[in-house]
Amino acid sequence: MNNITISLVIPCYNEELNIQKGVLDKIGNFTKDDNRFAEILIIDDGSDDKSKDVIKNKYLSLFTKFRLIENNHQGKAFAIIDGIRKSKSQYVMFSDFDLATPIEESEKLIRAIDPQTPIIIGSRNKDRKDAPIFRKIMSYGSVLVKSLLLGLRGINDTQCGFKLFDRTIAINLINALKVFHTNKRVSGPSVSAGFDIEFLFVAAKKGYKITEISVDWKYAETRRVNFVKDTFESLRDILLIKYYDLAKKYN
């Protein structure tokens, strides 16, 4: 698949520590000589640490494919949505900033590209090796609730931060979202599972094929996840998706 073009979207919120660990160097070095990657969009979600300054002063000149887009703080979901909208390539891929799934795993998703497969999602091991117990509880509970309430069966991992889409189809799906249709006002880190779930739920309703690819994943310590807050937000979003579906708003 050497004739395709990909925009890589990286949501960023107070990622100074990960930058110090060399995450952007890994991404830049991996993509700089790969013509399939046309651009790397770093979508800053209103960071209030030194992330933006370091990116502007060092990385934009070091890696010419890098673009920094500065937004107000609205949460990870809207950073990804904005990145998809502003991307310019045939395909758009997004990765979590911490590279819990190594950037080299993108080859697995790229190899799965097919005209009949517009949505390719990474899938972590079910045992979530090294993840704390509360993360495993969130994962198992999410799978159960999604299956019971939304009928979103056959997808083991909606939340892996490593996905690849046909851009035109991704834009159409984003325009059909209801829960994540209007920007939200958030405080602090916001990593609700709702966006991934609604995106894939709408894709399934519209009959698009979703291919799940097993990828390497290693738990990365983060302060982004708040067990109580994120569980509540995810359940709220799932209930809203169910409401909009019953009201036939997705038709």
Q: How many CB atoms lie within 10 A of CB 241?
A: 25
pTM strictly above 0.85: yes
Instruction: Give pLDDT, residue 222.
Output: 58
* Third-level CATH fold of 6-246: Spore Coat Polysaccharide Biosynthesis Protein SpsA; Chain A (3.90.550)
Tens digits of pLDDT across the chain (251 residues): 568 999 999 999 999 999 999 999 999 999 999 999 999 999 999 999 999 999 999 999 999 999 999 999 998 999 999 999 999 999 999 999 999 999 999 999 999 999 888 999 999 865 555 555 655 555 555 666 666 678 777 788 888 999 999 999 999 999 999 999 876 666 666 666 789 999 999 999 999 999 999 999 887 765 556 667 777 888 888 899 999 999 999 98
Instruction: Give pLDDT, residue 47.
Output: 95
Instruction: Give pLDDT, residue 184.
Output: 66
Instruction: Give pLDDT, residue 185.
Output: 66
**Extents of the domains making up the chain:** 6-246
